[in-house]
Structure 1
Amino acid sequence: MTLDAFPRTPLFDAPTPIQRLERIEAALKLSGARLFVKRDDLMGLGGGGNKLRKLEFLLGAAIEQGCDTFVTTGARQSNHARLSAAAAARMGLKAELMLTDTVQREDPSYLHNGNQLLDGLFGAKVHHLPRGTDSLAAAHARAEELKAEGRRPYVVGSGGSSPVGALGYVSCAREIQAQEAALGLRFGTVIVANGSHGTHAGLAAGIDDPRRVLSFTVLAELAEAERGTLALANATRALIGGAPLGAEDIRIDGSQRGEAYGIPTEAMLAAVRLMARAEGLLIDPVYSGKAFAGVLAGLREGSLRGDVLFVMTGGTPGLYAYQPAFA
């Protein structure tokens, strides 16, 4: 089945560019490898970021169903929640965000800056949930309240990482392949961060060889990330008519997660600084920062060779919530 068969709401201009990071190559004194970045941060709506790819299909489904309120979940500094609020505003829908205090931080930067500041600017109604709350259950309960008020809610889980949302990265996989053909390249490894699994799952479901995709888990423990990503990739392939993938098709590295989700690591801080100081580019501290630390480690160790593509997924507003870590 082609992606044209699914309702879709355009939210950004595609394709996002692929650029070579020659100054980082020089800083690492690379031989036998070239490093490229796909700029999925360059999406104008809501501060940009990869969640817009998923939201094109999720909002498409919501609007087709006649919904007027987009209800979703995430951590307090969720990029997905921020972009859901922005995209809903663009499309004339209300947004309600069920945000859980997942990360053990109480400093003002984390509580009130970054994505938290923008959620309010985009007009979302924010519900703060205590640590340990089942946020998806809370979202469905809120949806029932909205229905009783005569509203028509559409509920989406964390990261927009449902099979419908993952179609956004099926589209991205095809976009990358078209760019490879135009550039005369073939990337041996396509690298992403893995949080709620949707980005990796969508790429694996849509690309010609799913083993080209490597992710670094930043949220779940490795075994859980592997199970969740495979299940979501196969659910997504079922939508588009692809054959199921096996466990051997899902490559995930657990070396960069650190103590827990959202907790800074020294490798992440160094990776964010190198990208900023060598290339003038900003990557977020929760997702791309940790994944790019994994890219740098692989290039230095020689486990990553040939042409390597890092998918830079945005989340720049999160940097402002992590000021104490960079101070």
Structure 2
Amino acid sequence: MVGMGWLRRGAGRLRQGWLPIAEATLAATAAWVVDTRLIGHPQPFFAPAAALIVLGQTRGQRMRRAVEVVLGVAAGVLVADLVIEALGPRGTWTIFTVILLTLGLAVAVGASTVTVVQAAVSALYLVVISPTTTSLVPFRFVDALVGGGVAILVSQLISARQPLAPLVAQARELFGELCTLVEEIADALERHNEPAAREALTRARGMDATVDRLETEVTAAGEALSLHIRRRRDLHRVHAVDASTRQVDYAVRNVRVLARAAVTLTRLPAGVPADLIVALRSLATAVRAAGEALAADLSMDDATADRRADEAERAALEAVRLAGGLFSTGPPLPLIMIIGQVRATAIDLLRGVGGGDDAEVLGRVDAALGLPPV
């Protein structure tokens, strides 16, 4: 039974991680073929090695890291080859000189930590392990560049036809989870159920990972469009999402505070006003509509994006209006906190869907809350 459980877990990990495996295998093999068949290098170790190093970088930062790693590996290889030619292989002074020059060169040009380490390891491999041959400088230098270039191309194959699809999916996932979370808070308050409210708070505390994934996909989409000549004109859509990501992060934090206040409110003996439940459900509708507006904009469906943005604004302002009406009843402190977070979440949603400048958004939200204009 233990063995079968391990096999099932292993199969599950393979299902989730098959894409990086396929990318790395294809890139390393293609780099080997290019170096042996097209360039004619008989032992192109550094071509597949550089491909694997590049694809090991974080998705979303792969392009910038790829350039750094390729240059770092290539520099380490070049320095090592030149020193070996002058001092010979596997000697103490050779190792000392290679490491000193490689690290010094990498640090002098301002390379990242990853680049410095890769350059040093590549150089050390040549000195200690790699067999000695003649005239290897151009081959090994080109090997690293070929491997890195092939890795960059392979990493873009999956997203070549639909470079924005992963970002659209991640945006829908984040807003879908946030909408469900607000609905769960509303349900917990309606049933006056403290355990359910605590469960919603636990979910809210785990939302940061979803925001991080959205930020990663924004960066990855920007990289993919930069390499896609015919789709570079769509970069402004990714930039718009990038600008709204901070507001989305704020909205997630606001809902987390809202969930914490909901736990306290369910512990009080008094019932929860019905208008608060309606306000929270309206806020959930606004979250869902904001997510659909963002996804439609990325899918270049501007008409749907505008319509969904209007729906988000109407629902958010209705939530604020209903919550603001509860001030007249002299609400307890936890309820006041929830009202404040409904207002803050509405503001961040409207900013996130391009609802106007800050003054306009604040004016509309505070008007819905019943506050006099400033």
TM-score calculated relative to the size of structure 1: 0.28
- Which structure ranks higher in relative contact order (CA pairs < 8 Å, sequence separation ≥ 6)? 1
Greater share of helix: 2
- Name which one, 1 or 2, has greater alpha-carbon Rg: 2
